[in-house]
């Protein structure tokens, strides 16, 4: 137990939803406690219903969740909306108490659960920095030592003595994250607040959290960015409807989570011909995403390649048939289209009835980190579209190996070979 930073044991959190509770003073509470039995007897004598009408429905945001986090470990918490992720972090941050179970925290905790957590609107950025440091248990000398680094990271130097109520959400986030990450907590808890910042700031924050982890401090990170989870975390926990679904290595948990979400299957296959996409001439049988060693996957690093496989069946001879792969980004922009007839041996030929399997490789150092969708089609150029599969596969590209400037423009970020020559004063190449 000496190396355990966080221990969660059978945690449960119950909320009462429906009719809002009125604020009660101590006098109201005492009075209602005294009169309640008499009111209940009166309702019974009048024949009124006294059972619960269901207006105060009970809802378990978390139930029977248990896991441990070791000191210096970086663990991701993933799951769909309403899975209980934020509730769990609020319990660990001591913002709310669990209904059942308990959580042991060994070390000083810094939390960033929403933009500007713990900030006072009327105080300046400077004053809020010292306030947050004091809340974390740090003395003025410790905060002084880190102050310049915090301000430089947040990039709000010009406004550090301005009340934070005048900050934009981006400025708020920059300073809040800088304070939480730089004031040397043993445990850093970060919710999905990085979605507020721009791409450059997100990469900056991920880099800082990675540096915090390398210093031997513990990080608990909630995000819907699966690339960031696999990039930063060694282990992950998946929540589903308030319960612990699975825990394990970040790559395995993320892959299992993505494969369980509609539209993000590692493989799509159709064995029943009545439901097989296509027509009487061509029918698709399966589509897969594979690693270079042909293992199914749903997430790759920027510096890794990806294999795309599509299997189909041709029923009648077809001349000039093309099978095409279309890649879209998360904003539904077409990144590129590639056809198997780009290969001369298949261009203009007749494809005889048979089963076919086509594989292509998306090279490494090309797709910027983010989520992508694949569609497929079979057609005869300029004549007809025979079969289509729309957004049938989804995968994520993580930021691992992405050393380029985050603000670089373009849908793709290719790392191209460059040859740079230098000429001396005489005009000759040096």
Strand 4-18 vs strand 267-269: parallel, antiparallel, or unpaired?
Answer: unpaired
- Write down the pTM of the prediction: 0.58
Q: What would the DSSP string read from start to end of 277-303?
A: SB-SSEEEEEEEEE-TTS-B-SEEETT
The contacts of residue 32 (CB under 8 Å, 6+ apart) are 24
Cβ(6)–Cβ(220) below 8 Å? yes
Q: Where are the domains of the chain?
A: 4-20+54-260, 267-398
Count CB neighbours of 244 within 10 A: 20
In the 8-state DSSP scheme, what is residue 26? H
Q: In what order do the strands lie in the sheet containing 56-70?
A: 56-70, 4-18, 100-105
Can you tell me the distance from the alpha carbon of 145 to that of 246, in angstroms, rounded to the nearest whole number?
A: 41
pLDDT tens, N- to C-terminus, the chain (430 residues) = 568 889 999 999 988 765 554 545 555 655 655 566 666 666 566 555 445 444 557 888 888 999 999 888 889 999 887 888 888 988 888 888 889 998 888 888 877 776 556 678 888 989 988 888 887 777 888 889 989 988 988 888 889 999 988 888 778 878 888 887 787 778 888 886 555 556 567 667 777 777 777 788 888 888 877 777 877 788 999 999 889 999 988 878 887 787 676 444 445 666 555 555 666 788 888 898 998 888 888 888 888 899 999 999 999 999 999 999 999 987 778 999 999 999 888 888 899 999 999 999 999 999 988 889 899 999 988 788 888 888 888 888 877 777 776 657 788 888 888 888 888 777 676 6
- Architecture of domain 267-398 in this structure: Distorted Sandwich (2.70)
Task: Give the CATH architecture of domain 4-20+54-260.
Answer: 3-Layer(aba) Sandwich (3.40)
Distance of CA 368 to the CA centre of its chain: 16
Distance CA 246, CA 252 (A): 10
Cite the DSSP H helix spans in 161-233.
Answer: 169-182, 199-214, 226-232
CA–CA gap between residue 375 and residue 313 (Å, rounded): 17
Fold matches, 4-20+54-260 and 267-398: no
Residues in the chain: 430
Residue 13 has a CB neighbour count (10 Å cut-off) of 22
CB of 261 closer than 8 Å to CB of 253: no
User: Residues 34, 38, 44, 48: is their CA dihedral positive or negative?
Assistant: negative
Cβ neighbours of residue 368 closer than 8 Å, sequence gap 6 or more: 302, 397, 402, 408, 410, 411, 412, 413
Let me know: does 237 contact 67? Beta carbons within 8 Å: yes
Q: Find out whether 222 and 209 touch, Cβ atoms under 8 Å.
A: no
């Amino acid at each position: 137990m000496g190396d355990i930073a966080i221990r969660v044991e059978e945690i449960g959190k119950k909320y009462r939803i429906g009719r809002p509770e009125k604020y009660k003073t101590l006098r109201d509470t005492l009075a209602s406690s005294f009169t309640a039995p008499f009111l209940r007897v009166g309702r019974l004598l009048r024949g009124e219903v006294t059972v619960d009408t269901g207006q105060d429905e009970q809802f378990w945001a978390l139930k029977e969740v248990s896991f441990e986090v070791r000191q210096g470990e970086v663990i991701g918490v993933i799951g769909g909306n309403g899975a209980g992720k934020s509730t769990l972090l609020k319990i660990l941050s001591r913002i709310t108490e669990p209904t059942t179970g308990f959580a042991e925290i060994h070390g000083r905790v810094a939390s960033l659960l929403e933009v500007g957590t713990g900030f006072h609107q009327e105080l300046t950025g400077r004053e809020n920095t010292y306030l947050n440091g004091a809340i974390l248990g740090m003395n003025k000398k410790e905060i002084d030592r880190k102050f310049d680094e915090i301000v430089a990271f947040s990039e709000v130097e010009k406004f550090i003595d301005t009340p934070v109520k005048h900050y934009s959400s981006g400025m708020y986030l920059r300073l809040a994250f800088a304070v939480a990450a730089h004031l040397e907590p043993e445990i850093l808890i970060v919710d999905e607040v990085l979605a507020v910042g721009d791409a450059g700031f997100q990469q900056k924050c991920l880099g800082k959290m990675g540096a915090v982890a390398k210093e031997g401090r513990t990080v608990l990170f909630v995000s819907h960015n699966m690339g960031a989870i696999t990039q930063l975390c060694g282990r992950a926990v998946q929540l589903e409807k308030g319960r612990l679904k699975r825990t394990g290595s970040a790559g395995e948990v993320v892959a299992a989570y993505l494969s369980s979400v509609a539209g993000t299957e590692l493989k799509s296959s159709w064995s029943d011909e009545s439901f097989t996409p296509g027509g009487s001439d061509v029918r698709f049988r399966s589509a897969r995403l594979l690693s270079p060693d042909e293992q199914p996957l749903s997430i790759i690093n920027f510096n890794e390649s990806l294999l795309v496989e599509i299997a189909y069946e041709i029923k009648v001879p077809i001349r000039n048939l093309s099978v095409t792969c279309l890649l879209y980004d998360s904003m539904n922009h077409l990144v590129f289209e590639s056809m198997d007839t780009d290969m001369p041996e298949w261009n203009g030929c007749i494809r005889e009835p048979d089963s076919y399997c086509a594989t292509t490789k998306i090279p490494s150092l090309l797709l910027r980190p983010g989520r992508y969708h694949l569609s497929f089609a079979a057609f005869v150029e300029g004549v007809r579209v025979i079969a289509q599969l729309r957004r049938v596969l989804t995968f994520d590209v993580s930021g691992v190996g992405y050393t380029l400037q985050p603000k670089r423009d373009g849908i793709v970020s290719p790392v191209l070979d460059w040859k740079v020559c230098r000429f001396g004063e005489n005009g000759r190449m040096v």
